[in-house]
Amino acid sequence: MRLEAMAITIPQVEAHPNRAPFEGVLTLVNAASDKAPSGARGHRVLLTREAAEKALPSLLGMAVDYRLGWDGHDAKRKIGVLTEADLNGNKLMVRGYLYARDFPEAAREIKAHAPSALGMSYELADCRIEDMRSAVWKLTRVTFTGAAILLREKAAYRETSFALGKHGHQPSAVSHQLMAVSEEVTRF
């Protein structure tokens, strides 16, 4: 198994009132979506691992949004930020913070959902599609522009997930190790 990871460092502030840490599975790589995402003109999609690896840096610092009803995206309802992204097998994992004090109603609704009810969806730009005539669009290059929290049943990938964590969230030990390895490799 090969892991890739990236993170931005945000200083830890004990029990910060506006930072609700979260983690989730944003998407799967090298797997066709269960249904067509919006913007794909009715085509299912497959994000290649290579494209995801190259695009990991574009996830960091991007916003997390939601739509009333938890059934899609709304780029004008940004309620959090992505601070970490890594590939673990075929799962693109993300971590970050919701602005729980700024958006208390959204935080309450998230907490009210069963842990298995929520998933995630990515937002993209600058996509390269291998063959636009194919039933499944193979994405060979992308730039991530954000993410959305939504009901798993509404997500293009049903195996996504979203869960709030505990205060004091820090990048995972695996991410720290991978960042150190990445720094060593880039020096050569």
Which domains are present in the chain?
A: 16-186 (3.20.16)
Q: For 137-182, how does the pLDDT look when each residue is reduced to its tens digit (9 = 90+)?
A: 999 999 999 999 999 999 999 999 999 985 344 444 444 444 444 4
pTM of the model: 0.84
Q: For 84-98, how does the pLDDT look when each residue is reduced to its tens digit (9 = 90+)?
A: 999 999 999 999 999
- Distance CA(93)–CA(65), nearest Å, equals 17
Contact criterion met (CB below 8 Å) for 143 and 131: no
Backbone angles phi, psi at 117, to 5 degrees: -80, -30
Contact criterion met (CB below 8 Å) for 40 and 142: no
- Distance CA(115)–CA(50), nearest Å, equals 30
Q: What is the rounded radius of gyration, in angstroms, for the C-alpha atoms of the chain? A: 16
